[in-house]
Structure 1
Amino acid sequence: MNKLSTETLSVVVEREIPHPPEKIWRALTQPHLIEEWLMKNDFKPVVKQRFTLSGDWGSVDCQVLEIEPNKSLSYTWAAMGLESVVTWTLTPTSAGTHLRMEHSGFHADQQQAYKGAQYGWQKFFASMEEVLARMD
């Protein structure tokens, strides 16, 4: 039986970060900080707000879906035929914050985008940790 798969794949990155949720939240929601670890942007932390992330390779059209300060942030991520969602979850721990990012909505035939996201988010996380280390 050959049916089209409607299942989607997700890229999940989880890290224990030795900073409080409030500090990580700033890195996730302040445009000048987002630019330092992700891309140039016109982000505003407002539900339904549309924003664009721009890199050397092109841009991503996004829209804020959900926002719960210092806890969770979710937005659409549309680029090069990919319609997906990025969700950040911050959970306080004794040593700082458990930060979880899930980028969901990759279809089986989008292996290149899926692999690119797996690679890209690892890089973005490393950059964010450098930004956090420099922040007050």
Structure 2
Amino acid sequence: MTRSDTIICEKFLPHPPAAVWKALTDPALHARWWAAGDVAPVVGHRFTLDMGGFGSRPCEVTEVDEQRLLAYRFAEGTLDTTITWELRPEGGGTRLVLTHAGFDLDSPMGRQAYDGMGEGWPHVLGRLDTVLGEVARP
């Protein structure tokens, strides 16, 4: 039996890629829709995301293509997964594709994280959309 260790979520955001990119890479905006942390679009940059009751999660940026792609290792030493944000211009907005890969489905923690994040990511993307709407208002 084949099991996927990857969560993929897509969302159309009625905002230009530059605005979406800023929300993904500006620590103040990032904290408003997901988690506080010193995220920066620089390969090799290490930062920690404050996941509230789930604790702090160390991360390292692995790939950057300005306004197109941001990837980082997430929860190094515990989950050891990779989060990739892909931005695709679409009409007057952006199609955002989130790929969260590398869950160890044979471990209880990996399975619980996969199940929880599989349900949680759509809500996080909804909050991103809300924050982008708030930022865009004059």
Task: Give the TM-score, by structure 2 length.
Answer: 0.89
Structure 1 counterpart of 2:100, which letter? H
1:45 and 2:41 correspond:
yes
The structure 2 residue matched to 1:13, chosen from 5, 9, 12, is: 9
Match of 1:26 in 2: 22
Name the counterpart of 2:118.
Answer: 118
Distance 2:111 2:99 in 1: 16
Percent identity, aligned pairs only? 37
- For the 8 Å contact 1:8–1:107, the answer to whether it is kept is no
Tell me if 1:84 matches 2:45: no
Structure 1 residues 64, 73: CA separation in 2 closer, same or farther (over 3 Å shift)? Answer: same
- Which residue is equivalent to 2:58? 61
Alignment map for 1:96-111 (pairs within 5 Å): 96-109=93-106, 110-111=110-111
Among 54, 67, 70, which residue is 1:70 paired with?
67
More strand by share: 1
Of 76-85 and 125-134, the range deviating more from structure 2: 76-85
CA–CA distance in structure 2, aligned partners of residues 133 and 51 of structure 1: 26
Deviation string 1:27-65 (CA, Å, 9 cap, x unpaired) is 000000000001110112211010000022101110000
- The structure that is helix-richer by fraction is 2
Letter in 1 for 2:135: M
CA RMSD of aligned residues (A): 1.8
Give CA-to-partner distance per residue, 1:5-43, whole Å, 9 cap, x none.
9x7511111011111100000000000000000111011
SS of residue matched to 1:41: coil
Q: Which whole-Å CA distance do the structure 1 matches of 2:51 and 2:84 have between them?
A: 20
Structure 1 counterpart of 2:127: 127
